[in-house]
Structure formats: structure tokens, C-alpha cells
Structure 1
């Protein structure tokens, strides 16, 4: 199994390749082969395909070797989120391979908790919350029992409207860092944006366990920021 993962639901454009080493004869356990990430909220479309090419090149693999695609389904702003979803769908259709969707917040939870294991500041073995920037002074958030188990969300809310028992949990993600007065347990030393490497690892675990992964359907949670201008002046022929 060779999984190509990508996520564009946050300001990070992130791509990863996860699977077996090419030509390995002893069938080693699948692992991260290559990854790339760049934070730029305005250049998702410009950065994604070069990142895919770079990751495949670093791993010494070709796109036609990929057996499955994993894409972050958000929640996230409409335009950025669509870039990853459409690209994954195009690759899947062109190669005739499955495309799996995973919640972007699940990837952040998996990455943050993995990074926190053994950290001197304390791990995330217990309940915690992931929050990303939803703009409009809101956050996308979800609550987790551990790095693999989401127990509520995703949802979108103003930070001040979150239940107190959620806001006081250890928190990771760029949204938590934006509102430290609300997320009093924010962990700034842990990953703040989406991680394609974490999405790929989580998908590989679930597929190996025989789980059926969700279809890649976007989780917008609200209407797009863009609006069709109102009050057009009617133009008629003379």
C-alpha cells in the first residue's frame, strides 16, 4: 500500500507519501517516506502540485505506483479546502484508485499527540481540544479522548461561546493560539496546522484494521465568505 496524502484546509499546504520502501525485500512496516509543508494561506493552488511532485521525487516513486489517496476534508475556508479535494479527486479518477477523506482536525490531533508523547511539558494522553482559525473571529474545533478518538465536533463557534469544560482542556492548533484568553491550556510548542503525514499514518492504521474510511466530502460547516454582489443595475438594450 502506497498512500499519497494532502491537506489544504488550513494555511498549510501539506503533502506526504506513506508506504513501503521501493525494492525492499524484507517487507518492512509502512512508514512516512517523504513529506512537504508550506504555510501560505493565499497560494494553495500554486503550491500543491509542486509539493506533490517534490514528495514523489524525494521518495523515488512515481504517481502510477500510488494505490490510494487521502485528503483532508476540513473544516476549513471554502477556497483553500477545495484545492486539495479537487486535486485528490482528479488524481483518483485519472489513476482509477480510491480517494479517502479524513477530518483535518483528526490529523492535527494525531500529529500533536504524537509529538507530545514524552515531551517535558506533558503529553496529550487524556482529553484535549483541537481548534483552527475559521476567520470571522470564530474557530473550527473538535474534542478528543486521545489522538485517535474524536468525541465531539467538528463545529464552528466564537471562542467565547465554547463550553467552559472544552475551553479549559489542553488545546492545540492555530485557533487555540489566537485566543489564549479562552484556550487557557493552549500548547504552542505542538503542531498548529494540518499534517498530511499524520493523515496518511492514521488512514494506514485504519485501513490495516479493516475499517472503511469516509468518502472525501468537504466539511464547510457554514456558507462561503464570498458573496454574489447584490443590487446589480439592470442593463437593457436601447
Structure 2
């Protein structure tokens, strides 16, 4: 089975193709990552085509699609979700969602409690705490960086948010270690683990996890002009 995974919930557009053989595990076939927070729409589709070409595969070879559902900014996040849904419908394959924070946690392979924080802009972070890389302890949240360690001042924090706010979330030296953005390879590995019946973060419907209302608003009714 070939599983295509991608995520657009952060500044990174990450795409990976993984081959999954039940009973034998997952084997990465191809992966690519591009860092450009302003060009998710222009970057994603060509990167999907590139990954498939490098692996010598066609869209019709896919058995499943996995997409990061955030939390993330409205514009970037919807690019990945709309693409995943459209491909799934066109190809007749299932589409599974994975929390973007879970993918970062999964790649870290940390066994002891920690937190993941990504950039939410507006001087805030998206974050969640974990008991281990495969077990989330809290629901995803958004807020000031100080919230991540509100009652756990020594909790290690990884992710781009930890780097941006190293003065609040770094270790004693102000530094952090671990993946900064999600990896599509980790996204696919996590999904394969769950599809294989092994314990781990739950797979989700391909619905956006915004945690915040979009900046764009529908215009209100026109005002009457008095004569």
C-alpha cells in the first residue's frame, strides 16, 4: 500500500510517500520539504508530483492519503485539507487527518513528558503537552508562550514556537532541541501505526483544527443611504 502524506499547517510544506506492508511496517519512498509561509498554494501540488515521480508512482497507485489538520493559520491549513479531500474523492481512497503537533511529537521520539509549540502569529503559539512521543496529555491550545509552562516551569518544549520564544520556552541556555516543523514522513508513520492497530495518537477526520476564528469576515448588509 502506498500512503501519501502532507502538511501545510506551518511555514513548511512537507510531502512524503510511504510504502506500507501490513505486518512488515512502513518504508519511506520519497520526501520533500519547502519552507515558504506565503506560497503554500503554489508549492504543494508541484511537490506532490515531484514526490510521486521520484518514487516512480502514479496517483492511481495510492491506497490512502494522510493530511495534517493543524492547528494552524486559516489560509495555509486549508490548502492542504482541500487538496487532500479533492485527491481522495477523485481517486476513491480514504483520507485521514493527523494533528500537526502530534506529528512533531512523534518524530522527536521523546519518552519523557514534554510539550510541542508552533508559531500561531500575533505573539502566540499553538501547543500541547505529551507524556511521550506517542501519547498526548492535553488538547491542543492557542495562547501566549508563557501558557505552555504555566504550571510546569521545567517542562522541555520543542517546535518552531519554542525557538521563536526561546527566552520563555528554551532550556537554561535559552536553546531548544527537536524538530521545528512537522515531517510528512512522521505523519505517514504515525498514521500507519494507527491503521495497523497499534497504540498512538488518534487519526482524525480531515477537518481543520483552527482554534481561532479566521481574520477574514463576511461583509455585513449594506447600509441604507438616507436621502
TM-score by length of 2: 0.89
Partner of 1:120: none
Shift of 1:165: 3.5
Partner of 2:130: 144
Q: Are the structure 2 counterparts of residues 89 and 231 from structure 1 closer, same or farther at C-alpha, using a change threshold of 3 Å?
A: closer
Match of 2:46 among 30, 44, 50: 50
**Aligned equivalents of 1:88 and 1:75: distance in 2?**
16
| Contact preservation (8 Å) 2:166, 2:176 | no
After superposition, what is the alpha-carbon deviation per residue over 1:170-202, rounded to whole angstroms, capped at 9, x for unaligned? 111111111112113376442201211101000
**Aligned equivalents of 2:136 and 2:221: distance in 1?**
44
What are structure 2's unaligned runs of at least 5 residues? none
Q: Is the counterpart of residue 184 in structure 1 residue 170 in structure 2?
A: yes
Q: Is the counterpart of residue 218 in structure 1 residue 208 in structure 2?
A: yes
Alignment of 1:35-184 (within 5 A): 35-113=31-109, 124-166=110-152, 168-184=154-170
Q: Which runs of 4+ in 1 moved over 4 A?
A: 228-236
Q: Are the structure 2 counterparts of residues 210 and 109 from structure 1 closer, same or farther at C-alpha, using a change threshold of 3 Å?
A: closer
The alignment of Structure 1 onto Structure 2 pairs a total of residues equal to 222
**Aligned equivalents of 1:156 and 1:30: distance in 2?**
33
Shift of 1:19: 0.7
Q: Are the structure 2 counterparts of residues 231 and 67 from structure 1 closer, same or farther at C-alpha, using a change threshold of 3 Å?
A: closer
What are structure 1's unaligned runs of at least 5 residues? 22-26, 114-123
Partner of 2:13: 13
**Aligned equivalents of 1:99 and 1:20: distance in 2?**
15
| Contact preservation (8 Å) 1:129, 1:166 | no
